[in-house]
């Protein structure tokens, strides 16, 4: 069995050299969010001034704000997110949204059109400021350019048409950078309704006599699109950089849809929200292997962030015949859609036995000794360390070659991007990517 090639010290040193998503004006800190919040406060103050000294109305406004914040806090607690606690500013902005709505309703008939517009403006910008606070917490849109690309469905980095990629390969035209192409994996085996998926093809794939390259399944968090690892996780930049340093060789990366919708949380299981696991295993992997010339017997890697990290562990320990390496970035200890009881009810229709079949700890214990399976638990910041330690300890006791690596950052997309770039050399070597070598 191969040893985990990178020590914690080497990974930390590599992480110190890695930066997050590119420029374009930060939406997580700096001038843009501060300016928007300042304008919001000014508009809200102007709207409040229109209430005058009507203390009953002011009391109702405060009550509306408190109720909105309380309701938001309760709803968040039901989601079962594997993340750091939300910043207190999120609840403040939730309260201000409720207050702004109450002001607008209460003063609509008593004020002129100018103040009405100001009230509507205050509501809109309170919502925007709440969104910016959530974004600063999760890092979903690191920059203005990444947000614009996502919201307008702009082209992805290195995006090209599938036919153009195959034409270039047939002519032996090797690009300097890889290509991101759309792929239709279908749903014949799973019946899973999914969105468009993507594949990263490294430069070596385009050679006239291409080598056998490994593939990596890339899975995002709970609220996601298949392209999140590309836009928010900067995965293509990391893969291109690795390929450039290794003669054009890098793994193929498959950005699959494990949820079927932005607000759908499947945790990559087969259950009441769809057969997500079957889609990944029986639709995505065979289709990609066939379409891009991969060996059908080759073992894959799997990388995931947040709930996707939980998926990565789950897939690897449930299907060691298919996966030989995984990277779990900030995942949970088990599929999580709330409390354990809520998870069993929401994902498995109340079937506790079905839940146990997808619980990594139960799966590892029932399976017994593994052979030729390795994993890294990359934990940016403190959240998720206990889950990673528990799973790695159990895995190691059952033959899984694993390590837990604490990395700088927190549970957000920029930290996930840095973690992927940091662990990619280990993963590429583990999957026997040609010319891949990890520095000692």
Q: Is residue 47 part of a domain?
A: yes
For residues 325 and 301, is the Cβ–Cβ distance under 8 A? Answer: yes
Same domain assignment for residues 287 and 420:
yes
Q: What is the mean pLDDT of residues 98-118?
A: 82
pLDDT one-digit tens code per residue, 223-271: 889 999 999 999 999 999 999 999 999 999 999 999 999 989 999 999 9
Which pLDDT score is estimated for 28?
77
Same domain assignment for residues 65 and 183:
no
pLDDT band at 7 (very low <50, low <70, confident <90, very high): very low
Same domain assignment for residues 57 and 176:
no
pLDDT band at 14 (very low <50, low <70, confident <90, very high): very low
> Cα–Cα distance between 34 and 46 in angstroms, integer?
19
Q: Is residue 143 part of a domain?
A: no
Strands 270-271 and 274-275: antiparallel
Residue 397 neighbours by CB under 8 Å, 6+ apart = none
Q: What is the mean pLDDT of residues 81-88?
A: 74
Which pLDDT score is estimated for 15?
40
Same domain assignment for residues 39 and 12:
no
Number of domains in the chain: 2
H helices within 325-412, ranges in order? 340-348, 352-357, 360-367, 385-397
Which pLDDT score is estimated for 17?
45
Mean per-residue pLDDT over the chain, rounded: 88
pLDDT one-digit tens code per residue, 123-163: 999 999 998 998 888 888 888 877 887 788 788 999 999 99
3-class secondary structure, 185: coil
For residues 431 and 214, is the Cβ–Cβ distance under 8 A? Answer: yes
3-class secondary structure, 378: strand
Which pLDDT score is estimated for 55?
64
Which pLDDT score is estimated for 203?
97
> Cα–Cα distance between 118 and 45 in angstroms, integer?
10
Which pLDDT score is estimated for 399?
97
Structural domain ending residue among the three candidates 138, 169, 204: 138
Q: Is residue 3 part of a domain?
A: no
- Beta bridge pairs of residue 404: 377
pLDDT one-digit tens code per residue, 343-367: 999 999 999 999 999 999 999 999 9
- For residue 422, pLDDT over 50 is answered with yes
Q: Is residue 252 part of a domain?
A: yes
362 to each of 43, 118, 272, 394, how far by Cα in Å? 54, 56, 21, 10
3-class secondary structure, 330: coil
What percent of the chain shows pLDDT beyond 70?
A: 91
Q: Which domain holds residue 423?
A: 8-23+156-430
- For residue 10, pLDDT over 50 is answered with no
> Cα–Cα distance between 186 and 192 in angstroms, integer?
9
Return the higher-pLDDT residue of 339 and 185: 185
> Cα–Cα distance between 157 and 98 in angstroms, integer?
39
Q: What is the mean pLDDT of residues 391-416?
A: 95
Closest to 230 measured CA to CA, from 206, 256, 205: 256
CATH number of the domain that residue 176 is part of: 3.40.50.1820
Which pLDDT score is estimated for 148?
82
Handedness of CA 76, 78, 79, 80 (dihedral sign): positive
Which pLDDT score is estimated for 58?
76
Which pLDDT score is estimated for 12?
36
Residue 382 neighbours by CB under 8 Å, 6+ apart = none
> Cα–Cα distance between 53 and 43 in angstroms, integer?
18
Q: What are phi and psi of 358, to 5 degrees?
A: -115, 10
Q: What is the mean pLDDT of residues 203-228?
A: 92
Same domain assignment for residues 122 and 175:
no
pLDDT band at 62 (very low <50, low <70, confident <90, very high): confident
Q: What is the mean pLDDT of residues 373-391?
A: 94
Q: Count other C-beta atoms under 10 Å from residue 137's C-beta.
A: 19
- For residue 36, pLDDT over 80 is answered with yes
Same domain assignment for residues 183 and 109:
no
- Beta bridge pairs of residue 280: none
3-class secondary structure, 115: helix
What are the tokens at 399?
């033959």
Which pLDDT score is estimated for 160?
94
> Cα–Cα distance between 82 and 382 in angstroms, integer?
12
């Amino acid at each position: 069995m191969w040893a985990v090639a990178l020590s914690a010290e080497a990974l930390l040193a590599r992480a110190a050299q890695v930066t997050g998503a590119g420029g374009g004006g930060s939406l997580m800190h700096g001038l843009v969010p501060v300016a928007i919040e300042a304008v919001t406060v000014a508009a809200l103050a102007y709207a409040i001034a229109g209430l005058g000294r009507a203390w009953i109305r002011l009391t109702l406004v405060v009550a509306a704000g408190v109720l909105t914040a309380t309701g938001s806090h309760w709803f968040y607690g039901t989601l079962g997110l594997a993340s750091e606690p939300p910043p207190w500013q999120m609840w403040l902005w939730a309260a201000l949204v409720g207050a702004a709505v109450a002001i607008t309703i209460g003063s609509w008939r008593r004020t002129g059109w100018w103040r009405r517009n100001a009230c509507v403006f205050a509501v809109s910008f309170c919502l925007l400021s709440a969104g910016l606070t959530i974004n600063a917490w999760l890092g979903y849109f690191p920059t203005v350019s990444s947000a614009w690309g996502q919201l307008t469905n702009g082209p992805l980095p290195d995006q090209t048409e599938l036919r153009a990629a195959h034409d270039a390969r047939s002519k032996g035209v090797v690009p300097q950078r890889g290509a991101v192409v759309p792929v239709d994996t279908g749903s014949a085996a799973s019946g899973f309704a999914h969105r468009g998926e993507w594949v990263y093809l490294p430069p070596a794939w385009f050679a006239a006599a291409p080598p056998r390259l490994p593939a990596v399944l890339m899975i995002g968090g709970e609220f996601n699109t298949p392209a999140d690892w590309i836009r928010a996780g900067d995965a293509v930049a990391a893969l291109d950089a690795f390929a450039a340093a290794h003669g054009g060789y890098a793994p193929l990366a498959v950005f699959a849809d494990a949820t079927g919708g932005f607000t759908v949380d499947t945790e990559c299981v087969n259950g009441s929200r769809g057969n997500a696991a079957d889609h990944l295993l029986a639709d995505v992997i065979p289709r990609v292997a066939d379409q891009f010339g991969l060996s059908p017997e080759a073992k894959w890697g799997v990388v995931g962030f947040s709930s996707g990290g939980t998926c990565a562990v789950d897939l690897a320990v449930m299907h060691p015949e298919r996966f030989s390496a995984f990277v779990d970035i900030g995942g949970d200890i088990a599929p999580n859609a709330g409390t354990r009881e809520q998870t069993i009810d929401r994902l498995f229709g109340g079937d506790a036995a079905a839940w146990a079949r997808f619980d990594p700890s139960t799966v590892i214990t029932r399976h017994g000794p593994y052979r030729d399976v390795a994993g890294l638990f990359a934990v940016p910041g403190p959240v998720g360390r206990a889950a990673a330690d528990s799973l790695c300890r159990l895995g190691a006791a059952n033959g899984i070659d694993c390590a837990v690596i604490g990395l700088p950052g927190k549970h957000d997309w920029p930290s996930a991007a840095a973690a992927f770039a940091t662990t990619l050399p280990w993963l590429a070597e583990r999957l026997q990517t040609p010319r891949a070598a990890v520095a000692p």
